[in-house]
Structure 1
Amino acid sequence: MERASHKERQAETARDAGWSGPAIGLLDLDAFFASVEQLDHPEWRGRPVIVGGSPERRGVVSTASYEARRLGVHSAMPSWQAVRLCPNAIWTRGNFPRYRELSRKVMSRIADETPLVEQVSIDEAFFDITPGRFSNENPLDICLRLQRRVDELGISCSIGLGVNKTVAKIASERRKPHGLSVVLPGSEKDFLAPLSVRSMSGIGSSSERRLAKMGIHTLAELAAADEERLSLAFGVTGPRLRLRASGAERNAIRSLAEPEEAKSVSNERTFARDLRTREELEAAIDHVGAVVGSRLRKRSLRGRRVTLKLRLDLDHGRSAQRHLSHPTDDEHVFCALAKELLDGIWAEGQGVRLVGVGLAEFGEEESCQLELFSDVTAREAQGEARARRDLRELSIVADQVRERFGSTALGWGRDLRLGGLGSDTPALNGAGVPGGGTP
């Protein structure tokens, strides 16, 4: 009742004030995976539900119902810790086809209100409902209608509304679950000023520490910071952080038909026990790299910058990068380079719990100038090129088999070497929009 009264007061205030300028909303589905499980299992309603991997296999929490959150459980928490906090929770690995189905229905309802919908994860989307662009209706009334239509699906959402993405995102977190927070045009600077820098997306623990060393703790202090000093500390990102903290940012919302251009494609996997031999690590690189290659080919992308990521324990990780001579989408090429990177960040016998491989700096494949070689060398180079093409063609066939018969329809010897070492935490990046967050 209190939330309804708050919404009614906001609606009345917004109608009296009118809305001038951009109106950007952020719709965030509340504890989405767990809420869907409670919808599909009525006997679980009112009980703590956790979607994630098991403690025995180094699983982590994907999402938790609000009953579990009240006991301290949160997304990305190690499962063993969640079990201690909430020993009576109902655990499930999740039903991702069902989550995708409901996500599509929600996005369709947003698209009924505006064609400018930018989905950022399976459970979040920005949308532009600026008056006069597609409707003259008050933006807050549109948000109220959206919430009711999501309610009809048996789940709930929280919405933040403001003049830009930063304000809308922060506002959406203010009154969860089933909340609606509106920051009227002209009040965004006052809304942001007292908040911690960490409340703004894009500022993680590392950036927070660097800002604290500069005497910057709040968004007001960040908005007033010297631009040159921020540039020295954060590069081109520094001035953008300052602009966002001031509330002066202005965003264009891409439509659903205009997907975001990828900046990198990566995959990582946590293992139930530490990998300690080079054979195991190389098999792991091949395993996660094959997923990266498949995603690259699906999106017609080729990259030059290869990144290898290792996590030694929960608090310590290492990474290394190197450039290929030409862009590729072939895991046989970029995984070979990733294996070379091992020597700089890993020593034989050292335990590794997570392996990740990524590719970035996308471009078109370049042709080789074989005329520069001698006849013998040219023949060798042509033979190597043919062998690489054959391996890539094999990967394409494997892609097609898995697309038709499922991801487990075809496996390689390297996967058998890894045995059952993988964590059983659900793969979130396969559940929704590429690059999406955790619900």
Structure 2
Amino acid sequence: MTQAANSKRRIIFHIDMNCFYASVEMAHNPDLKGKPIAIAGNPEERKGIIVTSSYEARAKGVKTTMPVWQAKKLCPNLLLMRPNFDRYREASRAIFKMLSEITPLVQPVSIDEGYLDITDTEGLGTPVDIAEYLQQRILKELDIPCSLGIAPNKFLAKMASDMKKPLGITILRKRELSNMLWPLPIEEMHGIGEKTAEKLRKVSIQTIGDLALHDVYQLKQLLGVNGERMKNLANGIDYQLVDPEAVHDFKSIGSSQTLAHDSADWDELYQLLEDLVNNVARRVKRKNATGKNVQLMIRFHNHQTITRSKTLQGYIDEKEDILFVAKELLKTHWNEDPVRLLGVSLQHLEEKSQVGEQLDLFTYRDNAKKEKLYETMEALTDKYGKDIFLPLNGEDKKDDEQQPRTSFQKDFLDDYKKP
């Protein structure tokens, strides 16, 4: 089966699990149903933050990224639980396996959401029939609620899935944009965060409809090439295909160097680290790119090589930000043995024009502010401990198996394809 050509009207689903982590926990322990629960890193500590929460907790004002102490103040009977990523990954694998039985054109985008192209699906009923079948099957077999958006492209499908939760099915056609999409506040548009929304409001763009009708020249002056892209999306124009292989598209820019002599001198290593980061940042700028994962490679005097990385909530491209993370990785993971080679790379790259600021399970709305970025880095350490990394080579396999795997790694998103 091949993906439908652009000349043929496509039928795209966006499927989004409702309160996924909390729903998985309630499915695992039905006694939690109907109670305000929240998944939080280090729930016993004041610095812990809310990862996600049930609708009962949200009704009390509990929100994602809220400090635990604040959530408890709003909801004194809040039940706090640590994340169980093995459990969430197992549920995610089962869900995407169900989706792949409908069509091979499935694109996971995170542990709890993805796209399907059902254009060429035959014999399974109408799009609504298929959506209802998937929704009810996931609910019956896994006890996890989900919402689906049905539309002619990925952007509109994503917007549609957000319109009715929980257990919603929403159809968004291009002819319905003026009634269903355009009245929404501009900050509710997928890909537009608070910083961009603030810029748009300054030129009297308050709603998605305002953006759709605004002068494209002024938008390009305000947001660069992304301005025209956002206007097109607001008008329901999106030619992105559902790509089952997109999960493997991990682009990176890196720089490494062998020292003239094995060194255990921190100042010398730090100076080399700074030089490497300068190289990376310069190349990232040249490509007009930005990334959200910093990886450090250390090769010791005995040729043993380790790689350690940290994935961030927001995208970065400034050398100061890359250096901040790389330095912390070196301080944390260098055992003071003589070093032969250092390498730094910025990974999970995207073109700046393609990156929109948005809030998901692990993204702060104000992550554009550097001080907030640093707080986020500290919060990650508080939530998952110092070892939130995985070796990327075959060495230290025993240690690798003992490390908790979090949803920050995307290598599991095609697990559903495995027998």
Please name the residue that 1:218 is paired with: 207
Q: CA RMSD in A?
A: 3.9
Contact 2:297 2:343 survives alignment (8 Å): no
Residues 1:145 and 2:165 aligned together: no
Please name the residue that 1:49 is paired with: 37
Please name the residue that 2:342 is paired with: 332
1:187 deviates by 2.1
Please name the residue that 2:403 is paired with: 407
Letter of the structure 2 residue corresponding to residue 40 of structure 1:
H
Please name the residue that 1:165 is paired with: 154
Q: Secondary structure at the match of 2:148?
A: strand
Residues 1:125 and 2:110 aligned together: no
Please name the residue that 2:64 is paired with: 75
Q: Determine the C-alpha separation between the residues in 2 that align with 1:226 and 1:85.
A: 44
Please name the residue that 2:22 is paired with: 34
1:134 deviates by 2.8
Please name the residue that 1:135 is paired with: 122
Structure 1 residues 259 and 188: CA distance shift in structure 2, 3 A: same
Q: Secondary structure at the match of 1:186?
A: helix
Please name the residue that 1:429 is paired with: 408
Structure 1 residues 60 and 265: CA distance shift in structure 2, 3 A: farther
Query: For each residue in 1:198-235, what CA deviation from the matched residue of structure 2 results, as whole angstroms up to 9, or x when unmatched?
Result: 11111000000000111111111111112121112212
Q: Secondary structure at the match of 2:51?
A: strand
Q: Secondary structure at the match of 1:247?
A: coil
Q: Determine the C-alpha separation between the residues in 2 that align with 1:69 and 1:355.
A: 25
Structure 1 residues 396 and 125: CA distance shift in structure 2, 3 A: closer
Please name the residue that 1:253 is paired with: 242
Query: For each residue in 1:313-342, what CA deviation from the matched residue of structure 2 results, as whole angstroms up to 9, or x when unmatched?
Result: xxxxx999xxxxxxxxx993328xxxxxxx
Q: Secondary structure at the match of 1:127?
A: strand
Q: Secondary structure at the match of 1:150?
A: helix
Please name the residue that 1:17 is paired with: none
Structure 1 residues 222 and 185: CA distance shift in structure 2, 3 A: closer
Unaligned runs of 5+ in 2: 1-7, 255-265, 275-292, 299-305, 310-316, 327-339, 346-368, 379-390, 414-419
Contact 1:25 1:159 survives alignment (8 Å): yes
Unaligned runs of 5+ in 1: 1-19, 267-277, 297-304, 311-317, 321-329, 336-344, 347-351, 357-393, 409-425, 435-439
Please name the residue that 2:180 is paired with: 191
1:122 deviates by 0.4
Query: For each residue in 1:337-377, what CA deviation from the matched residue of structure 2 results, as whole angstroms up to 9, or x when unmatched?
Result: xxxxxxxx99xxxxx64549xxxxxxxxxxxxxxxxxxxxx
1:189 deviates by 4.4
Q: Determine the C-alpha separation between the residues in 2 that align with 1:291 and 1:45.
A: 45
Structure 1 residues 123 and 88: CA distance shift in structure 2, 3 A: same
Q: Determine the C-alpha separation between the residues in 1 that align with 2:341 and 2:64.
A: 31
Structure 1 residues 106 and 319: CA distance shift in structure 2, 3 A: closer
Q: Determine the C-alpha separation between the residues in 1 that align with 2:81 and 2:118.
A: 37
1:395 deviates by 8.0
Query: For each residue in 1:115-161, what CA deviation from the matched residue of structure 2 results, as whole angstroms up to 9, or x when unmatched?
Result: 1111111000111112xx23263111110110111012111111111
Contact 1:163 1:250 survives alignment (8 Å): no
Q: Determine the C-alpha separation between the residues in 2 that align with 1:218 and 1:191.
A: 12
Give the paired residue count: 307
Letter of the structure 2 residue corresponding to residue 42 of structure 1:
P
Q: Secondary structure at the match of 1:98?
A: helix
Q: Determine the C-alpha separation between the residues in 1 that align with 2:253 and 2:147.
A: 30
Please name the residue that 1:96 is paired with: 85
TM-score, normalising length from structure 1?
0.61
Q: Determine the C-alpha separation between the residues in 1 that align with 2:67 and 2:222.
A: 32
Contact 2:10 2:152 survives alignment (8 Å): yes
Contact 1:25 1:128 survives alignment (8 Å): yes
1:25 deviates by 0.9
Contact 1:189 1:246 survives alignment (8 Å): no
Structure 1 residues 401 and 319: CA distance shift in structure 2, 3 A: closer
Letter of the structure 2 residue corresponding to residue 164 of structure 1:
N
1:399 deviates by 5.1
Letter of the structure 1 residue corresponding to residue 155 of structure 2:
T
TM-score, normalising length from structure 2?
0.64
**1:258-407 equivalent positions in 2, closer than 5 A:** 258-259=246-247, 261-263=249-251, 289-290=295-296, 294=307, 307-309=319-321, 332-334=342-344, 353-355=375-377, 396=393, 398=395, 400-403=397-400, 405-407=401-403
Letter of the structure 1 residue corresponding to residue 126 of structure 2:
N
1:264 deviates by 5.5
Q: Determine the C-alpha separation between the residues in 2 that align with 1:97 and 1:21.
A: 39
Q: Secondary structure at the match of 1:187?
A: helix
Structure 1 residues 234 and 55: CA distance shift in structure 2, 3 A: farther
Letter of the structure 2 residue corresponding to residue 407 of structure 1:
Q
Contact 2:27 2:143 survives alignment (8 Å): yes
Quick one: percent identity of the two aligned structures?
33
1:258 deviates by 4.6
Letter of the structure 2 residue corresponding to residue 138 of structure 1:
T
Letter of the structure 1 residue corresponding to residue 249 of structure 2:
E
1:27 deviates by 0.7
Q: Determine the C-alpha separation between the residues in 1 that align with 2:128 and 2:138.
A: 15
Q: Secondary structure at the match of 1:333?
A: strand
Q: Determine the C-alpha separation between the residues in 2 that align with 1:89 and 1:242.
A: 42
